[in-house]
């Protein structure tokens, strides 16, 4: 049975960096589930139909990492029928041998509630805004406002709101280097493997 690692948390917390590092370290498959929503939004038209017809090649579209794509993803992620259409895609991905790392906002609570390892990666709002601003070459104050709005929308949505799973390990990366955060995450996975 494949080992599933669920990593949740708000934007720019470091969850994607940690997820990619864990997948590389353990030789697992990796899925940034936010890309599913970004790609669905980028397809345009009816978001439910876009989600139902999403393919792996849609995840390679240019511009999916932009702030605009992130805001669009957050808006369509609040549509229950979009979320339902993407659940099977994510669960099939998680079932791949020898294991999979999925990062998003509802992996440990909805998509893979039985995941062997659940991490909820977070950081202070200002730290996350500074990271995202540096990544996108944007203004930190503008990013702070946008991140807070997105967090509010993600936490308050009726379907699969952003929150840590009850059994998730909270990993606050505010004052951690990337190497330190990855080391903590690797240690959590090793506890399950031993």
Q: Is 9 annotated as a binding residue?
A: yes
What contacts 22, CB < 8 A, 6 or more positions away? 5, 7, 28, 30, 101, 182, 185, 186, 189
Phi, psi of 14 (to 5 degrees): 110, 5
Q: Is 66 annotated as a binding residue?
A: no
For residues 21 and 53, is the Cβ–Cβ distance under 8 A? no
Q: Is 13 annotated as a binding residue?
A: yes
Longest dimension (CA), the chain: 48
Under DSSP, is residue 97 helix (H, G, I), strand (E, B) or coil?
coil
Q: Is 11 annotated as a binding residue?
A: yes
For residues 97 and 2, is the Cβ–Cβ distance under 8 A? yes
- Distance, in Å, from the CA atom of 144 to the CA atom of 43, rounded to the nearest integer, reads 27
Q: Is 16 annotated as a binding residue?
A: yes
Q: Is 39 annotated as a binding residue?
A: no
End-to-end CA distance of the chain: give it in Å, rounded: 16
- Distance, in Å, from the CA atom of 67 to the CA atom of 83, rounded to the nearest integer, reads 20
**Using the 8-state DSSP alphabet, how is residue 165 labeled?**
-
Number of neighbours of residue 133 by Cβ within 10 angstroms: 20
* Binding-site residue set: 9-17
* Binding-site residue set for ATP: 9-17
């Amino acid at each position: 049975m494949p080992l599933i690692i669920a990593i949740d948390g708000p934007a720019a917390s470091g969850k994607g960096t940690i997820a990619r590092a864990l997948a590389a370290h353990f030789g697992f498959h990796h899925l940034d589930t936010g890309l599913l929503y970004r790609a669905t939004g980028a397809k345009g038209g009816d978001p439910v139909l876009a989600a139902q017809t999403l393919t792996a090649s849609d995840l390679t579209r240019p511009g999916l990492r932009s702030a605009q794509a992130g805001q669009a993803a957050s808006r369509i992620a609040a549509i229950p029928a979009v979320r339902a259409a993407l659940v099977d895609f994510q669960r099939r991905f998680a079932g791949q041998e020898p294991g999979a790392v999925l990062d998003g906002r509802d992996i440990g609570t909805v998509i893979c509630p039985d995941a062997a390892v659940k991490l909820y990666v977070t950081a202070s709002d200002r730290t996350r805004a500074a990271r995202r601003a540096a990544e996108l070459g944007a203004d930190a104050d503008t990013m702070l406002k946008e991140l807070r709005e997105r967090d509010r929308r993600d936490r308050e949505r009726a379907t699969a709101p952003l929150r840590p799973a009850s059994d998730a390990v909270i990993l606050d990366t505010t004052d951690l280097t990337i190497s330190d955060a990855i080391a903590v995450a690797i240690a959590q996975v090793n506890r399950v493997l031993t």
